[in-house]
Structure 1
Amino acid sequence: MAFYSWFCVLSLTVLWSLASPLYHVQGHGCDFSLGKWVIDDSYYPLYDASRDCPFIGQGFDCLKNGRPDLEYLKYRWKPSSCDLPRFNGVDFLERYRGKKIMFVGDSISNNMWQSLTCLLHIAVPQSNYALQTPTKQLSVFTFLEYDASIMWLKNGFLVDVVHHKEKGRIVKLDSIKSANKWNGVDVLIFNTYHWWTHSQDSESLVQFQVGNEIIKDMDPMEAFKIGLTTWSKWVDANIDPSKTTVLFQGIAASHYEEKGCLNQTHPYQGPQPPYPGVEIVQKVLSSMSCPVYLLDITLMTQMRIDGHPSIFTGKGPSYEDCSHWCLAGAPDTWNEILSAALLGL
C-alpha cells in the first residue's frame, strides 16, 4: 500500500486540474460539470438507437417504445467556460487498441456503457464486434478489429453482498473481496448510489453489516459513506495509476418527487438544490491518495427531468421510470466528457 500511495503522488498528469484535491474531469482548465443544456438539432441526436445500435436494451430505447416528443433528443451540454469537444469514436478506438475499459456499478452504469458501445459502433459501423455475457454480472462488447473491450460489471454496492436464507440480503460495508474482478483493466469507471437509496424499500430491504455485527435501522447515507470509504481504501492499496486510470461516475439525479417525469419535455434551467450523497462522494474521493477523477454529472442530470424513459420503457403505462435515461440522450454527454478527459482534450 505504501508503494502505491507514494507512486500516486508522482502520477498526476497535466490533463487534470491540480487546484483541488478533488479531481474533477476537466479540459484545458474548464470544469465540464458546470453549464446548461442548449438545443442543437444540427448535430443531435448522435444516433438512432433502433436503427444504429439494435443491441441497446429495450428499456432505454424510448422512441421505439412510443415516446411521441423528439426535442429531448436534441439537447447539447454547453459548459460555462468552454465547448465540449465532439465525440471521435475512431480516435477513441485507436488510442484504446488492445485495451480494456470496464464500468463497474448499477444499471446507471449500464446506461452509460450501452451509450458508449453505441457511440463507438456508429463510428466504425463496418467493423465487426462481439457482445458476450460470460457471467450473469458481466457483459463484454469487443471491437474485434481493435481488440478493444468495453465491459460492464454489475455491482450496485461495490462492497460485498451476501444472501442469507433467513436474514435476506446483507451488505458487508467493510468487505470488498469481489474486487479481484477489477484487476487487469486499463480504465475503471465506478458508480454506486441508487441501490443505497432503495435499501429501505419493502421489495429490496437489505441489512448492513460491519465486522460481525448487523446494524439494524442504519441510515442508508451513513452506510453509503462507510461502503464508499471501503472501496476508496481498496483503490489506494491496489491500483497502480501508471497502468490503470480510475474514474468515479458521479451521482445521476432521479426525478420521482412531486409529479414525476411523465409528460416532461424540457430541461430545468438555472441553479439546482444540493443533491443527497454528493457531499459524501466529494469527501471520500478528496481523501484518497491516488487520483480518482470525478465525472460529475449531478447538475446536468438534475436539469434533465425530460430525459427519463418515464412510461416509455416497453413495460406498459403502469410503470414509470424516472431514474434511467433514454438513449439517445443524456448518457451520450457523459461519454463525450469521458472521451474528452481520457483523450486529453
Structure 2
Amino acid sequence: KRAIEDLEVLKFSLFLVGSLLNVGEIRCRSTSFNRRALNAESPRVLNVSSPKALNVLSAKPLCFTSSRVYHRLGWVSRLFPVLILIGALISFIILLHGGYIYVLPSLSQAFYGHGVLKFNDSSNVCDIFDGSWVIDDDYPFYNASDCPFAEQGFNCLGNGRKDRDYLKWRWKPKNCDIPRFNVHNVLEMLRDKRIVFVGDSMSRTQWESLICLLMTGVEDKKSVYEVNGNKITKRIRFLGVRFTSFNFTIEFFRSVFLVQHGWMPRHAPKRVRSTLKLDKLDDVSNEWINADVLIFNTGQWWVPGKLFETGCYFQVGNSVKLGMSIPAGFKMALGTWASWVENTIDTNRTLVFFRTFEPSHWSEKSRRFCNVTQNPLLETEGRDRSIFSETIFEVIKNMTVPITVLQVTSMSAFRRDAHVGGWSDNPMVPDCSHWCLPGLPDIWNEIFLSYLLANYGLPAVNGKQCEFILFLISLLQLLSFVIYAVHSLICMFQPECKHLRGLMT
C-alpha cells in the first residue's frame, strides 16, 4: 500500500514536469514562429547591436534550438525508441512473472474446477482416497505449541517426541493431486460461515487441527477466541472458536454415539445401568441445524469396553434390546441419523460430510501395548477395512440427499507412526488411538477443504493479490508518465519530433 502511495506521488510529480515541459515547448515554438515571421518580413541581415535585434535574440524563455545543441542532443532522439522498447520489455516481464505467480493460479482454478483435483492422466477418474504416502518437506504447516487450541495431550513434539519424520508425509492419490493448502483462500472461502463438527474425540482432534491450520493466516491472533472463554478439554460438550476478522465460527459438539444416551429405564434387568436410544438422535441435535457445513463421525465408542462392560445396552422405544449386537445397533443409530438429516437439514444450504472410522494400532486387543513406528507401514495389516466404515457407506448409499463421505480408514491404516503413543500429557498411559498434532488430521482437513473449494469456489481475488495487481497497474501508469515526460523534454529541445507521435500513440 505504501508502494502504491509513493507511486501516486511520483506519477503526479512526473505529470507536473511533463506539463511544464509542454508549456515550455509551446512557448519555444511560439518564439521560433515569431522569429521566422520577423525574418520573412525583414530579410535583410540585422545588426546585432541594434535594439530590435536584441529584442528578437533575447526572447524568453530561452530555447535550445541552435544547430550545436540540436546535434548534441540528437543521440537522445535516436535512443528514445530503444528506451521505450527496454521499458516495455521490463514491464512485460514484470507482468508475466506477477501473473504467473498470483493471477494464473486463480484463473486456472476458476476454469478447471477451482483446483480441487489435478488429474495426472487422461482417464479423468480419481479416487482421492486411493493412493500412497510420500515425503514432503513443506510439512508441517504449524507448531502445536504456538496454537492455543491444540490440546497438550496431542502435542507430541511438545511432550518430548524427538523424531520428526512423522510430520513430513503427504497423501498422494494415484491419478490426481490434492490442491496445496492456501490459508488465505480458505479464510476468504469460510467468511460469514458456520462450520460444525459432531462426534467423538477424533472429531475434536480434526476440529483442533483445522483451527490451527487457519490461524497461520490470521495476523491478529487475539481476534480468534473460544466463544465462551473455555479451555479446550474433552470434558466440555460444546466448544466454539470464532475468527472475528472473517466473521465465521468453527464449532465442536461432543456426541460420541450420535444418538441419545439415557439412564436405566424402569423394570430393566440389574445389569442395565444405562441405554443408547437408537431411535432418537442426541438431544443437542437442534444446535446443529443452522450450520453451513456439518462434519459427523462416530465409531470409537462402539466397542464392548464402552458399552456392555459398563452396563450400557441398546434401547428402541421402551424396549431394551439385550441381545442386539454392536454392528446391528450401529446400523440402526446411523439410520436414525440419516432420517434426521433428510427431514431436518436443508442440503441446498448445508453441506453434510461423514468421516469414516479411524483405525487404531494397538499391539494387542487389551490396548495396553502401543508400538509407534518411525515411518508409515508398508502394508495396512488388515486395518484398511472396518465394519463401521462399510455400514456408513451402506446407509448413506440409500439416502435421498447428498452426503460426502470422507473415507479416511484405508489411508490412515498405514500411519502407525502418527499416533500419540507415549508422548501425551500422561505418558504413563500409552495411546495408539489418538493422533499427534500436527499430523494425520491435517491431511484429513486438506481433503475436506478440497471438497469445500469444489462447492464454494475460491474467492475471486484475495487481499494480497488485489494489492499486487493495483501495484502493477500503478507501475504501468508510472511507465506511461515517464514516457510522457521524456517525450515532452525531447520535444522541448527538438521541436521537429513528429516521428515520435506514433510511438506515443
Q: Calculate the TM-score normalised by the size of structure 2.
A: 0.60
**5+ long unaligned stretches in structure 2:** 1-111, 120-124, 231-235, 458-505
Once the two structures are superposed, the pairs formed by residues 132-211 of structure 1 within 5 Å of their partners are 132-133=227-228, 136-164=236-264, 167-176=272-281, 178=283, 179-198=285-304, 204-211=310-317
Alpha-carbon RMSD across the aligned residues, in angstroms, is: 2.3
Tell me the CA shift for residue 163 of structure 1: 2.8
Displacement of 1:133 in angstroms is 4.3
CA distance in 1, matches of 2:377, 2:330: 28
Equivalence for 1:279: 390
More helix by share: 2
**Matched residue type, 1:141:** V
8 A Cα contact 1:78 1:84, kept in partner: yes
Equivalent runs, 1:255-266 vs 2, <5 Å: 255-258=361-364, 260-266=369-375
- 1:47 aligned onto 2:147: no
Alignment-mate amino acid for residue 263 of structure 2: H
- Aligned-partner residue type, residue 176 of structure 1: L
Q: Match of 2:198, as an amino acid?
A: V
Out of 438, 449, 460, the position equivalent to 1:328 is: 438
Q: Measure the CA separation in 2 of the matches of 1:70 and 1:199.
A: 33
Deviations 1:306-334, CA, capped at 9 Å, x for gaps: 111011111123x1111110001000000
Give, in whole Å, the separation in 1 of the partners of 2:177 and 2:131.
10
Hey, what does 2:127 align to over in structure 1? 31
- The alignment status of 1:74 with 2:206, answered yes or no, reads no
Bigger CA drift: 109-118 or 81-90? Answer: 81-90
Determine which of 342, 348, 352 is the counterpart of 1:236: 342
Q: Decide which moves more: 121-130 or 330-339.
A: 121-130
Separation of aligned partners in 2, 1:155 and 1:134: 21
Check the 8 A contact 1:199/1:220 in 2, yes or no.
no
Deviation string 1:167-224 (CA, Å, 9 cap, x unpaired) is: 4331100112522121111000001111112555676441110111111143111111
Long gaps (5+) in structure 1: 1-13, 16-24
Determine if contact 1:261/1:308 at 8 Å carries over to the other structure.
Answer: no
Asked if structure 1 preserves the Cα contact closer than 8 Å seen for 2:372 and 2:419, the reply is no
Is 1:225 aligned to 2:331, yes or no? yes
Q: 2:443, 2:304 → 1: CA distance?
A: 26
Q: Which residue matches 2:10?
A: none
Q: Is the 1:27–1:340 contact (alpha carbons within 8 Å) kept by the matching residues of 2?
A: no
Task: Tell me if the contact between 1:101 and 1:187 (Cα under 8 Å) persists in the aligned partners.
Answer: yes
Larger RCO: 1 or 2 (CA < 8 Å, sep 6+): 1
Counterpart CA distance in 1 for 2:203 and 2:351 is 17
> C-alpha distance in 1, partners of 2:363/2:388?
17
Instruction: Name the residue aligned to 2:318.
Output: 212
CA distance in 1, matches of 2:216, 2:306: 41
TM normalised by structure 1 equals 0.86
Say whether the 8 Å CA contact 1:208–1:214 is kept in structure 2: yes
Q: Is the 8 A contact 1:141 1:149 kept in 2?
A: yes
Q: Alpha-carbon deviations, 1:268-304, whole Å to 9, x = none?
A: 1246532231211110010100011001100111110
Which structure carries more strand by proportion?
A: 1
**Deviation larger for 162-171 or 95-104:** 162-171
% identical equivalent positions: 39
Distance 1:73 1:203, change over 3 A: farther
Q: Distance in 2 between matches of 1:209 and 1:227?
A: 11
- 8 A Cα contact 2:261 2:275, kept in partner: yes
Task: Describe the SS at the equivalent of 2:315.
Answer: strand
Residue 93 of structure 1 corresponds to 187
